[in-house]
Amino acid sequence: MTTDIKAALRALHIETPSWAYGNSGTRFKVFAQRGVPRDPYEKLADAAQVHAHTGVAPTVALHIPWDKVADYGHLAAHARELGVGIGAINSNVFQDDAYMLGSVTNPDPAVRRKALAHLLECVDIMDATGSDTLKLWFSDGTNYPGQDDIRARQDRLAEALSAVYARLGEGQRFLLEYKLFEPAFYTTDVPDWGTAYAHCLRLGPKAQVVVDTGHHAPGVNIEFIVAFLLREGKLGGFDFNSRFYADDDLMVGAADPFQLFRIMYEVVRGGGLTAGVAFMLDQCHNIEPKIPGQIRSVMNVQEATAKALLVDRDALAAAQAGGDVLGANAVLMDAYNTDVRPLLAELREETGLAPDPMAAYAKSGYFEKIAAERVGGTQAGWGA
Ligand code: RM4
Ligand code: MN
């Protein structure tokens, strides 16, 4: 039993986002931290530290153009030398002046063409880096009733998505991300999983939905969405983070570890650990140090997964079949209330890692090294 759980935990891969290593903040203030990377190469070096200490974060997501470089093949080779690989390519059609009224749903065809060209460029970058996943998030929407035609915007979205879909190569896919609101405050063109699912369903198997845990209204049952999408073969991955209020992008498992456990239980239940679901982090560390913030987040996902794997599925099935409401609930709670930290420490030691990644990183001297080395230049940041 423990052997199976350990094997599943060893196979779990958590992808960290390049933007988590740069400076970030709110619209009120971006606080600069010491030792922050100055370019995508340094971001990869920091991500490699997270992998070195946890053993389960072997890929890094890029965000274009934040991670624009002259030679993407060279960047991918650099990643490999550091012991990591390039994960999802995240497109960015939300920071150009042209996109004030939308990107792929903009009423102006010239703006739509510009946005589509960027998305296609991201597929070129996938080819150059060997990435198999394109992540599409659109900030598109409207602020006022009547501002634009809701249905026409869906048509424009469908047109762009089908052009991107047609460009995907063998073994490549795109993940369509939804978000309830922000920056648009009245309508959002991809506001929920149902909209994303409908577009992906029309296109085919290379289009799947990505669930960003921070992109729902308060109280939404995210594990239900996960169960449903997995059952339909349409769960492409997660953008993990936690939220108290809106899209807070705090560390996953910090606000609600129980919710994370419930989500991971549905992943385990639906065979999602081995079904090509990408477990990505999409976070910002505004006030906490960035590399330890990522290490802690990776550990939180590991802990929730370990607890989900501990659920006694036979006992649960028996309780459910017998209509034993309290018994079934107790099976889940027993797993959730198990302290899995010793198991994970043991697992790390078995693979030659230190049992406590946070302590190992702190002792490594890496932070002191980058704080001394990375002076001068512009520190990379959200939007940099
Ligand atoms: C969006 C969305 C995307 C991420 C950007 C930075 O809210 O979550 O996944 O790429 O933020
Ligand atoms: Mn996201």
**Number of Cβ within a 10 Å radius of residue 190:** 26
Copy the structure tokens of residue 161: 């998505």
pLDDT at 379: 87
Which residue positions in the chain have pLDDT lower than 50?
Answer: none
User: 239 in ligand 1 pocket by Cβ < 6 Å?
Assistant: yes
pLDDT at 383: 67
Tens of pLDDT, residues 234-262: 999 999 999 999 999 999 999 999 999 99
User: 24 in ligand 1 pocket by Cβ < 6 Å?
Assistant: no
User: 282 in ligand 1 pocket by Cβ < 6 Å?
Assistant: yes
Spacing, Cα 135 to ligand 2 middle (Å) = 9
pLDDT at 382: 78
Spacing, Cα 178 to ligand 2 middle (Å) = 8
Residue 97 exposed, middle or buried by CB count within 10 Å (0-12, 13-18, 19+): exposed
Phi-psi sector, 128: left (phi>0), alpha (psi -120 to 50), beta? alpha
From residue 73, alpha-carbon distances to 216, 239, 267 in Å are: 36, 25, 33
User: 223 in ligand 1 pocket by Cβ < 6 Å?
Assistant: no
Q: Closest ligand to 247 CA?
A: 1
Task: From the CA of 92, give the closest atom in ligand 1.
Answer: 10
User: 67 in ligand 1 pocket by Cβ < 6 Å?
Assistant: no
pLDDT at 384: 61
pLDDT at 294: 99
User: 15 in ligand 1 pocket by Cβ < 6 Å?
Assistant: no
Using CA atoms, how far apart are residues 174 and 176, in angstroms rounded to an integer?
A: 6
pLDDT at 98: 98
Spacing, Cα 177 to ligand 2 middle (Å) = 7
- Residue owning the nearest CA to atom 1 of ligand 1: 137
- Residue owning the nearest CA to atom 6 of ligand 1: 282
Spacing, Cα 337 to ligand 2 middle (Å) = 29
> pTM for this one?
0.98
pLDDT at 377: 83
Spacing, Cα 286 to ligand 2 middle (Å) = 16
**Number of Cβ within a 10 Å radius of residue 83:** 13
Spacing, Cα 282 to ligand 2 middle (Å) = 5
